[in-house]
Amino acid sequence: MATTKKPAAKKAPARKPAAAKKPAPKKAPAAPSAWETVQIARHPNRPLLLDYLAAWDPEACELHGDRLVADDPAMFAGLATIGGERVVLVGHRKGRTTEEKIAYRFGMANPDGYRKAMRVMRLAEKFGLPIVALVDTAGAFPGLDAEARGQAEAIAKNLAEMSTLRAPIVVVVTGEGGSGGALGIAVGDRILMLEHAIYSVISPEGCASILWRDGKMAPQAAEALKLTSGWLKRLGLVDTIIPEPKGGAQNDPAQTAETVKQAILDAIAELRKIPLDELVAQRYAKFAAMGRFAD
């Protein structure tokens, strides 16, 4: 009897090993909001002018007095060496202790301070030195005596004279850049700004009290003022943003001082290549163009 062969059973296709799941990409940390940036700029441990001087030139020579009324401790003005570069340095001086803060009026200068700064900046023009200005103030001192001695006039005169000084000028906004108090020493060829510093025509609290009559609206005012380094760079008011350590300059003051030093030296080296007549013309045009918007 003939037998029939059964068809061979089909082999099931071999299963491919399951692909290993790729780990989800880590999201970049969100940038701080404008109001959070304000808090970082005001952090009590953020490096101050005297911290930068201690890192760059502990033996910097401070010059005193405006030769008219008094010496203002809230404004530093003198000669310093930054990375081998001899400069005239001016800047707002805040205090660290309670006694220092009171003595320096929290970095808010009197008209004597702005006149002292200009007197010393003229020395830079005379001796062919670059000027470095460190800006860190909530604003000019609003006291009655300051107004009586010509606060607005002193700042306005600095704006006019700095715009035509025949010396390279590098401005660094290191913390708070508040209103005319900041601008009184901030007319420069290169405006540098630390990543988490702020620079504004008014404080968020002041803006909120005027627009909404409510200081609790300060976070919304901070957003509206566009006072962060990113916005100011986009608007053309700042030339260079200096990166800070993670979380802010207060987390690594030594590294911050080194980074700021290198940014200053790079800016000075760039400006030295430009003839003085051209440099002054470019500076004047730079500030004259601010506030012009195309539709």
**Is residue 93's pLDDT more than 70?**
yes
- In angstroms, rounded to a whole number, what is the distance separating the alpha carbons of residues 255 and 242? 12
Q: Specify the pLDDT at position 14.
A: 59
Amino acid code (one letter) for 23: P
Q: Specify the pLDDT at position 122.
A: 96
Per residue in 170-193, pLDDT (tens digit) is 999 999 999 999 999 999 999 999
Q: Specify the pLDDT at position 7.
A: 56
**Is residue 1's pLDDT more than 50?**
no
Helices (H), 235-290: 253-272, 276-288
- In angstroms, rounded to a whole number, what is the distance separating the alpha carbons of residues 120 and 143? 24
Q: Identify the band that residue 32 occupies on the pLDDT scale cut at 50, 70 and 90.
A: confident
**Is residue 84's pLDDT more than 90?**
yes
pTM, two decimals, is: 0.87
Q: Identify the band that residue 196 occupies on the pLDDT scale cut at 50, 70 and 90.
A: very high
User: How many residues are present in the chain?
Assistant: 295
Q: Specify the pLDDT at position 186.
A: 96
Q: Tell me the CATH number for domain 34-287.
A: 3.90.226.10
**Is residue 243's pLDDT more than 80?**
yes
**Is residue 81's pLDDT more than 60?**
yes
- In angstroms, rounded to a whole number, what is the distance separating the alpha carbons of residues 194 and 252? 13
Per residue in 102-156, pLDDT (tens digit) is 999 999 999 999 999 999 999 999 999 999 999 999 999 999 999 999 999 999 9
251 C-beta neighbours (distance < 10 Å), count: 15
**Is residue 294's pLDDT more than 80?**
no
Domain borders along the chain are: 34-287
Q: Specify the pLDDT at position 291.
A: 75
Q: Are the beta carbons of 103 and 145 closer than 8 angstroms?
A: no
The vertex-48 CA angle with 174 and 207, nearest 5°, equals 55
